[in-house]
Amino acid sequence: MEEEVAALKTQVQLLVEQLNLSKSKRFASQSEKVAKSTFNEAEQQNALPSSPKERRKTGRKPLPADLEREVQIHTLNAPYCDCCDAPLHECGKEVSETLKILPQRVSVIRHERTKYVCDS
């Protein structure tokens, strides 16, 4: 009797494993990528940045300093607040650079826009 119970338990276990395998093949993501459960730990360690200090900056690189520069300053004629008519105070500058290419010559146009703020 015990042998028959043990044999039935192993058969049920085998059938459950087959069912799980069949479900995973049917409902799992279908792609040619490597399964998530199989990975190389060495590759994973190399892919992660070791410290936050080593992250690379994103965005545009600055233009070379040796190029000729043309500065255009943009300011307001009479910086007054629209709501209270008080004079605006300078609070910084916004700087952007664009590349100007003429035949046989390359220069940088530097735009400096003065920013203002109302004190009241």
Q: What is the pLDDT of residue 51?
A: 57
pLDDT exceeds cutoff 70 at 22:
yes
H-type helices in 28-93, by residue range? 41-47
Among 71, 68, 85, CA closest to 114: 71
The pTM of the full predicted model, rounded to 2 decimals, is 0.40
What is the per-residue pLDDT across 77-94, written as a single tens digit (0 to 9) for each? Answer: 778 888 888 888 888 888
pLDDT attached to residue 61: 83
Q: Which helix (H) or strand (E) holds 19?
A: helix 2-27
Mean pLDDT of all residues in the chain? 80
Position 56 confidence tier, pLDDT thresholds 50, 70, 90: confident
